[in-house]
Amino acid sequence: MQVWIYLIRDRTTGYFKIGRAKDVHYRFKQLVKQDTLLPYPNDFELVDAWLGAPSDESNLHLHYAEERRRGEWFELENIEGVKAYFHNHRSLSGSSEQQRKEDRIKQMLDASYEDEGSALDFAVEGWGYSF
């Protein structure tokens, strides 16, 4: 089963969430709107997302266990290690179709999430993924 493994940064703390979802855009919106016990609203940034397996999330959590600060939030000095994990994983089991999908998502991550009907919604509609 393929899922999206995502990396979200909390702009306030600088921590990164390593998570998984079938629908990254929806999950991101959930997290942003989630109630917080802090005196300020959530300020998150969707950094990147990759197609992977549920075990990829578990593997990353284990690899970065010493950097875990709370739940699935990690204090990562360098996110290049996370990106390298997916680059290496893809070279073993990825496909060119998967690469094209991920490349398109990465392009769309640069787009603004201010607009509910973002280009991301339109761009991935034909892939069978619902954002």
112/75 Cα distance (integer angstroms): 25
Q: Residue 91, CB half-sphere, CA atoms under 13 Å: how many?
A: 5
User: Across the 131 residues of the chain, what is the mean pLDDT of every consecutive 10-residue run?
Assistant: 90 92 90 76 87 90 93 90 76 50 62 45 38 34
Instruction: Please name the amino acid found at residue 86.
Output: F
At 42 the pLDDT is 82
Task: Output the pTM of the full model.
Answer: 0.66
At 61 the pLDDT is 93
- Would residue 98 be called left, alpha or beta, if left means φ above 0 and alpha means ψ between -120 and 50 degrees? alpha
Cβ burial, residue 74 (10 Å; 0-12/13-18/19+): buried
